[in-house]
A = this chain, B = another copy of it.
Amino acid sequence: MARAAERPLRADAQRNREKILAAAVRVFTEDGLDAHLERIAREAGVGSGTLYRNFPTREALIEAAYRNEVARLCDAVPGLLATMPPDQALRAWTRRFIDYATAKLGMADALRAVIAAGVNPYADSREMIQGALCSLMDAGTAAGVIRTDIRPTDMFAALAGIALTSAQPDQRDQAERLLDLTLDGLRPVAGRGAGGS
């Protein structure tokens, strides 16, 4: 993530860019594919010119908004690990994962249009998310607070499954219960020596 070699965008421009992306997720989720770009600009508090300069086409905006959601989800990991124990960090992060899945579901129509235009917005997203999950689980393993016989890819599959069935906004409670269930199962099994000292 982050913008590579290109000259690094002025601070205010970066701020605007992010406000636009956040507004885009909101509005595309609400209005679907044919949301008004003007409205996104208005909600982001920028002029339409600014929106258009950052994202020349509707598709570019949708794609960037989606990628930004993935990036935000993944970038959250270090902060979580820095402020709470690994098992709590993992628990908190799975909540964010559901937020992400809900946003993705809401933008489904818009994303489909991007794909139809010949772009794959999902490139790398799976790897990035699995990488984030891996960091969290490694930290948990190092601290001895999660069992060691479940691989991150298994956990990813479980999370994907929960997202698949329970990512609708009104299923939030169910999603959280399923997450708790899964995370409880991830605790070290007594008498199997996963715990430290």
CB neighbors of B among A105-128 (8 A): 116-118
**Assembly CA distance A26 to B4 (angstroms):** 46
3 A-B pairs closest in CB distance: A116-B118, A116-B116, A116-B117
Instruction: List the B side residues contacting A118 at CB < 8 Å.
Output: 116
**Assembly CA distance A161 to B173 (angstroms):** 65
Q: Jot down 3 A-B pairs with beta carbons below 8 A, ordered by A.
A: A116-B116, A116-B117, A116-B118
Instruction: List the B side residues contacting A117 at CB < 8 Å.
Output: 116
A64-91 interface code vs B (CB 8 A; 1 in, 0 out): 0000000000000000000000000000
**Nearest CB of B to A109, in Å:** 15
**Assembly CA distance A116 to B116 (angstroms):** 8
**Nearest CB of B to A183, in Å:** 42
**Assembly CA distance A116 to B117 (angstroms):** 7
**Assembly CA distance A70 to B116 (angstroms):** 28
**Assembly CA distance A118 to B118 (angstroms):** 12
Chain B, Cβ-Cβ closest to A117: B116
**Nearest CB of B to A177, in Å:** 40
Instruction: List the B side residues contacting A116 at CB < 8 Å.
Output: 116-118
